[in-house]
Amino acid sequence: EAQVTQNPRYLITVTGKKLTVTCSQNMNHEYMSWYRQDPGLGLRQIYYSMNVEVTDKGDVPEGYKVSRKEKRNFPLILESPSPNQTSLYFCASSFRAGGNEQFFGPGTRLTVL
């Protein structure tokens, strides 16, 4: 089944404790992206990747890192999480950027205490 998977789905952590949220797609998509969703602010793009080893900042990249060493994986790294990073995170992928359908993962709800 074609899908985007994220792990973990739920995470409660404390300020400053490094964490990684994994994202994987099995559709051989070139484009992958991370979003966060907060009440009243909609979805905001954090980082995106046009292909392996190519990443770029979205609208809210501060406090986040990403890597794209393999086509299928696009982990989101929070080196030192803070409470303002408490949010619902979505990973997405598409064949290419621009005129292609994006497939979204189920979301990861992160709480930073």
Partner 1 sequence: DAKTTQPNSMESNEEEPVHLPCNHSTISGTDYIHWYRQLPSQGPEYVIHGLTSNVNNRMASLAIAEDRKSSTLILHRATLRDAAVYYCIRSDEKLTFGTGTRLTIIP
Could you list the residues that contact partner 1 (CB under 8 A)?
33, 35, 40-45, 48, 50, 56, 58-59, 90, 92, 97-99, 101-107
Q: Nearest approach, Cβ of 13 to partner 1 (angstroms)? A: 22
Closest CB 83 distance from partner 1, rounded Å: 23
Q: In what order do the strands lie in the sheet with 65-66?
A: 4-7, 19-25, 76-78, 65-66
The burial class, CB within 10 Å (0-12 / 13-18 / 19+), for 91 is buried
Closest approach, Cβ 84 to partner 1, in A, equals 19
Asked if 63 and 94 touch (Cβ cutoff 8 Å), the reply is no
Q: How far is residue 29's CA from residue 20's CA, in Å, rounded to a whole number?
A: 21
Q: Which is nearer to partner 1, 44 or 71 (CB)?
A: 44
- The nearer residue to partner 1, 50 or 52, going by C-beta atoms, is 50
- The CB-of-48 to partner 1 minimum distance in angstroms stands at 6
Q: How far apart are CA 99 and CA 42, in angstroms?
A: 21
